[in-house]
């Protein structure tokens, strides 16, 4: 006999897609509470701006990873790709903007082409993107062997812009979450893109080309990766061929914590943005507690396991 039938009934009324947003939002609220308790000075415009500053590149990196996860693929090259974009932005964009934008456009085309090659040759995405990671890293080192260069003035001004009332990182987070949700969850094209990961046979029977869909999603991932690299360059004001390496695992963790599934077809753009901020705040909270960097990585991994376990538990209870 159930001890709490009312609670089970209420849980069963919540859709799985809603739970994928509620769980990361609850985790974010908890992290924000702990952050404010440890550092009350964060409760100010300047404090929020400083705390969330590096969420700008992480949000776009996580959304880039989400595009690939939509197909059930995993991108192990997004970190080095962001580093390559940083090197291009810090060396070519200031003095030769046309050449710099052309190079960034080629990067996006190569990302889309990578998706076509994965589909055409039926290659494992992990192997392909891991190989591409070495290509991105090698190209970054050729362009900028050591940290240096200078971010374009307009880029530094944008990342340093302070809009009224709402800090720029929070404004970008809300905007990208809403845009991603509307596009991927509320439009016909979004349904088709998600369907390619959830039920490829049905999409193919409907007459859609899976190769084109994969190229579109990988192209979108490339565009978002370029934006992530530009944001990181604007914040750091210089380029670095190794600066983006951390974003590979952070983007995967952010997307999965936010509700995406490795099986494909099940995603949550709002949850991905929230997951990116959760990963950022976790590191900040642990730093406030004087936890060493080595332990921070362990605890961030533990947070990922905890959220996934909670999601699986609530899914079983709801069913």
pLDDT for 162-175, tens place per residue?
999 899 999 999 99
Instruction: For the beta carbon of residue 69, count every other beta carbon within 10 angstroms.
Output: 29
pLDDT on residue 160: 92
Residue 266 falls inside a structural domain? yes
Give pLDDT tens digits along the chain (319 positions).
445 555 554 545 666 666 677 778 888 888 888 888 888 888 888 888 888 999 999 999 999 999 999 999 999 999 999 999 999 999 999 999 999 999 999 999 999 999 999 999 999 999 999 999 999 999 999 999 999 999 999 999 999 999 998 999 999 999 999 999 999 999 999 999 999 998 888 898 989 999 999 999 999 999 999 999 999 999 999 999 999 999 998 999 999 988 888 888 889 999 999 999 999 988 888 787 777 776 777 777 777 777 677 666 665 655 5
Residue 2 falls inside a structural domain? no
Q: Give CA–CA dist 131/247, Å, rounded.
A: 17
pLDDT digits (tens, 9 = 90+) for 231-256: 999 999 999 999 999 999 899 999 99
Which of 318, 125, 284 shows the shortest CA–CA distance to 217?
125
Which of 116, 215, 223 shows the shortest CA–CA distance to 179?
223
Residue 158 falls inside a structural domain? yes
Residue 211 falls inside a structural domain? yes
Listed in sequence order, the residues at least 6 apart from 153 whose beta carbon sits closer than 8 Å to its beta carbon are 94
Q: Which domain does 184 fall in, by range?
A: 53-309
Tell me the two tokens of residue 319.
């069913």
Q: How far is CA 309 from CA 8, 31, 304, 306, 315, in A?
A: 18, 18, 9, 5, 10
Which residues, in sequence order, are bridge partners of residue 239?
Answer: 148
pLDDT on residue 22: 79
Instruction: For the beta carbon of residue 153, count every other beta carbon within 10 angstroms.
Output: 11
Q: How far is CA 196 from CA 72, 78, 107, 227, 263, in A?
A: 9, 21, 24, 25, 11
Residue 282 falls inside a structural domain? yes
pLDDT on residue 15: 63
Q: Give CA–CA dist 264/194, Å, rounded.
A: 8
Residue 31 falls inside a structural domain? no
Q: Give CA–CA dist 271/63, Å, rounded.
A: 10
Listed in sequence order, the residues at least 6 apart from 315 whose beta carbon sits closer than 8 Å to its beta carbon are 16, 19
pLDDT on residue 1: 45
Which of 225, 304, 280, 268 shows the shortest CA–CA distance to 70?
268
Instruction: For the beta carbon of residue 148, count every other beta carbon within 10 angstroms.
Output: 13
Q: Give CA–CA dist 103/296, Å, rounded.
A: 36
The count of domains in the chain is 1
Q: Give CA–CA dist 218/220, Å, rounded.
A: 5
Q: Is the pTM above the cut of 0.85? A: yes
pLDDT on residue 183: 96
pLDDT on residue 6: 53
Residue 30 falls inside a structural domain? no
Task: Please return the burial class of 288, using the count of CB atoms within 10 Å of its CB with bins 0-12, 13-18 and 19+.
Answer: middle
Q: Give CA–CA dist 315/235, Å, rounded.
A: 40
Residue 29 falls inside a structural domain? no
């Amino acid at each position: 006999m159930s001890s709490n039938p009312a609670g089970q009934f209420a849980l069963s009324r919540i859709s799985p897609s809603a739970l994928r947003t509620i769980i990361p939002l609850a985790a974010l609220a908890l992290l924000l509470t702990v952050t404010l308790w440890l550092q009350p000075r964060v409760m100010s415009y300047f404090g929020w701006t400083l705390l969330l500053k590096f969420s700008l590149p992480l949000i776009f990196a996580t959304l880039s990873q989400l595009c690939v996860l939509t197909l059930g693929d995993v991108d192990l090259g997004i970190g080095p790709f962001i580093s390559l974009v940083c090197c291009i932005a810090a060396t070519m964009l200031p003095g030769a903007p046309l050449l710099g934008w052309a190079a960034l456009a080629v990067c996006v085309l190569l990302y889309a082409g990578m998706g076509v090659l994965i589909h055409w040759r039926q290659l494992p995405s992990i192997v392909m993107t891991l190989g591409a990671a070495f290509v991105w890293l090698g190209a970054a080192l050729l362009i900028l062997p050591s940290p240096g260069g200078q971010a374009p003035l307009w880029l530094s001004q944008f990342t340093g812009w302070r809009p009224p009332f709402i800090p720029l990182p929070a404004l970008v987070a809300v905007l990208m979450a809403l845009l991603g949700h509307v596009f991927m969850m509320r439009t016909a094209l979004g349904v088709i893109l998600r369907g390619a990961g959830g039920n490829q046979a049905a999409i193919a029977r409907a007459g859609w080309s899976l190769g084109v869909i994969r190229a579109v999603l990988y192209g979108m991932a490339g565009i978002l990766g370029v934006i992530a690299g530009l944001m990181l360059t604007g914040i750091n004001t210089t380029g670095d061929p190794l600066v983006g390496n951390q974003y590979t695992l952070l983007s995967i963790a952010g997307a999965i914590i936010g509700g995406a599934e490795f099986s494909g077809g099940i995603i949550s753009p709002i949850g991905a943005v929230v997951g990116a901020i959760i990963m950022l705040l976790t590191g900040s909270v642990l730093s406030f507690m004087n936890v060493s960097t080595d332990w921070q990585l362990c605890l961030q991994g533990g947070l990922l396991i905890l959220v996934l376990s909670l999601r699986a538990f609530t899914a079983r209870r709801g069913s």
